[in-house]
Structure 1
Amino acid sequence: MTDAETKTDAETKTDAETMTNAETFKKNNFVIVRNFLDPFLVKYLASYYREVRDHGAGQFHTDWTSLNCNGDPAADAVLYSLRSTIEAEIGLKLWPTYSFVRIYKKGDSVGRHKDSPANQISCNMNIARGDVDWPLGVSDGETNNSVIFQPGDAMIYRGFMLDHWREKFQGDHQVQLIVGFVVQDGRFDGLRFYGRGKPMYQPKGVRRAGPVKLTKAVLWRIREAYRKRAGTE
């Protein structure tokens, strides 16, 4: 197994770096997009999540690692509004599934894992960070990549296929916003909208995933069943 550091803009560009983002994504199953988010949006979200961190918000809670929320309204707005932009970056048509925000503090870590089928395609965006770099590890089983985010940067990746993790955090704060998608008419198409029912943005005539709640146990069984099948879509 080898290790690879992602290059900075100041480094000499290689042939691989001249590929389009869609070509890079197809080859590596992930692509890093610098300055993906509009600076004003980053500033707004950083301020919003700072208020959440310092003063609390009803929908946020702390689990085994960090303060977090599934379906925060601000994050859901990003999920819906950036879908077409993400589609253009990777050359795939997508259905949204859900959004997730984590507000990390010193000592937090993220165990090595793959995502559920609802994260067939994920976009992980940095909203705010301190002075300490906190790399996200990404591996296809052969090569380990280390990705360092700056505010506004994003990594679009096949979360269901790639291992990803973070070692113990030595900084004081970092905010990551993650939005998930499934490929339209692909193997996980039935997970569109992730069981939230019919949202107002759903196109007319499109069937929904259903009103049932997808528990961790159910998702685990779905994930294990799909992993036994060949192919990526």
Structure 2
Amino acid sequence: MNEFQNNGYLFVPSLIDTLAYDCFLKKLAAYGKGNSDEKQVTGSVVFYKEGLFEKLLEHLLPQIEVLTGVDLFKAYSYARRYEMGNELKPHIDRESCEITVSLALGFEGEIWPLWVEDRMKKHHSFLLQAGDALIFRGKELLHWREINRYGPCSQVFLHYVDRHGLYANFRDDHASN
């Protein structure tokens, strides 16, 4: 078994170069595109299944399969532009987010920690540089971000489901709609 299978999470430094993705997300937000996310992170702007990030979701699928040791279907991408004062409360994700890749696109100021509670209820914080990723079992592990006192940042979440698992019917995020 690999580290992901043992722990339910895996830190991956420098998964990809994210500069172009960060610029794209910033431009979308600056042009007033996207939606407000008052349900989960008040004051942030989000992009559900944005075309460029959907291509990234598909492009990285084989690499994520190798890193996790799991045969996957893609579910959906969800990009978010966080601002100062935002907070992501502790939560577990819905079925379509069985396996999540939280990929840091870029930040202004200091790096804002991402927290995960492991299977033994121990808390771990991760400082994701641009291009770093944390792959984790979003449906299983509690995760959060405390109040952002660090600066604006861009993140994309790439969600997958196990092809042979309980949530395989959530591929392409269809079963949840």
Q: Specify if TM > 0.5.
A: yes
Q: Measure, in 2, the Cα distance between the counterparts of 1:32 and 1:124.
A: 10
Residue identity over aligned pairs, in percent, reads 26
Shift of 1:56: 2.2
User: What are the equivalent positions in structure 2 for 1:15-26 lying under 5 Å apart?
Assistant: 23-26=2-5
Residue 29 of structure 1, aligned match among 4, 8, 22: 8
Tell me the alpha carbon deviations over residues 148-201 of structure 1, each in whole angstroms, 9 at most, x when there is no partner: 110000011100000000010013310010011110121111111111xxxxxx
Unmatched 5+ stretches in structure 1: 1-21, 196-208, 215-233
Unmatched 5+ stretches in structure 2: none
Q: Measure, in 2, the Cα distance between the counterparts of 1:180 and 1:27.
A: 20
Q: Measure, in 1, the Cα distance between the counterparts of 2:37 and 2:91.
A: 17
Shift of 1:53: 2.2
Counterpart in the other structure of 1:152:
131
Counterpart in the other structure of 1:97:
75
Residue 44 of structure 1, aligned match among 20, 24, 40: 20
SS of equivalent to 1:82: helix
Counterpart in the other structure of 1:63:
37
SS of equivalent to 2:96: helix
SS of equivalent to 1:112: strand
Matched to 1:62, the amino acid is: S
CA RMSD of aligned residues (A): 1.3
Counterpart in the other structure of 2:111:
133
Highest CA radius of gyration, 1 or 2? Answer: 1
Question: Normalising by structure 2, what TM-score?
Answer: 0.93
Matched to 2:24, the amino acid is: Y
Greater per-residue strand proportion: 2
Q: Is the 8 A contact 1:105 1:171 kept in 2?
A: no
Shift of 1:147: 0.6
Q: Measure, in 1, the Cα distance between the counterparts of 2:112 and 2:8.
A: 21
User: Which of 1 and 2 has higher RCO (CA within 8 Å, sep 6+)?
Assistant: 2
Matched to 2:36, the amino acid is: T
Q: Measure, in 2, the Cα distance between the counterparts of 1:32 and 1:56.
A: 32
Query: After TM superposition, where is structure 1 displaced by more than 2 Å over at least 4 residues in a row?
Result: none
